[in-house]
Amino acid sequence: MSDALHPYAMPPIRVAVVDDHPFFRQGLCNVLAAEPDIEVVGEIGDGPQALAMIPELSPHVVLMDVNLPGLNGLQVTQKLKPSHPEINFIIVTAYDDEEQIYHAIRVGASAYFPKDVEPKQLLETVRLVARGMYVIGGKPMTQEAAESWLVACYQKYGLKPDQETFSPLSPREAEILGLIIAGMSNKEIAYALGISQQTVKNHITSILAKLNLSDRTQAAIYALRRGWVRLHLKK
């Protein structure tokens, strides 16, 4: 069989495992290491160590627990993903509901599973996210589909009160992006805020320049994933 047709001809998928329970962490590593197309490049037991070691290990995929000593797994993911977009994070934790999945995907994860996930499903997910796919609720998704799901969940759940992060945007710009995610047109935003459509356009032009993006939807998704937007509360 030629290399082009051999399923394991490509370099192995580099995977790091982050979990503070040695027994569970070792079990994951054993399952992964048994696969010929996967290489375990590191085991990490706490948040600060994960923050320091993951960039050095250069994994393609990180299996990340949430409840870690020092810094939780979602915080680690949110800090690393913007500067290392090539690393794909899979959250593996005890909690499993749509809102928790939403917050994980929003901060940069590509997939989310409870710890009782079947090994076969987890292995397939490692392969999918290494190729740039998302797996949400057990379903493979393209980036575009995942972004649509993210926007729908934002409209349902918003952001938690403690999720304030540094933002280069003004409060008005962040407010406008929140309304864009809520599905409003420029005209509707102008009416809701009591400003002109031209003022809305000027704000959007400023936002795109700050973020070096080409359209308002891209800007809204970018800001949402970094916690810069807030739900517009109707009076």
pLDDT along the chain (235 residues), means of 10: 51 95 93 96 95 96 91 89 93 82 90 91 96 94 90 76 59 86 90 92 88 84 74 45
Q: Tell me the Ramachandran region of residue 130: left when phi exceeds 0, alpha when psi lies from -120 to 50, beta otherwise.
A: alpha
Please give the domain boundaries of the chain with CATH numbers for all domains: 13-151 (3.40.50.2300), 162-225 (1.10.10.10)
**Dist. CA 58–CA 129, nearest whole Å:** 15
Closest CA to 228 of 165, 183, 184, 179: 165
Give residue 3's pLDDT.
Answer: 46
Give residue 69's pLDDT.
Answer: 87
Query: Can you give the pTM of this predicted structure?
Result: 0.71
Give residue 159's pLDDT.
Answer: 64
HSE value, Cβ hemisphere, 13 Å, CA-based, for 15: 28
Give the contacts of 43 (CB within 8 A, at least 6 positions apart): 16, 17, 25, 26, 29
> Hey, is 54 helix, strand or coil?
helix
**Dist. CA 127–CA 24, nearest whole Å:** 21
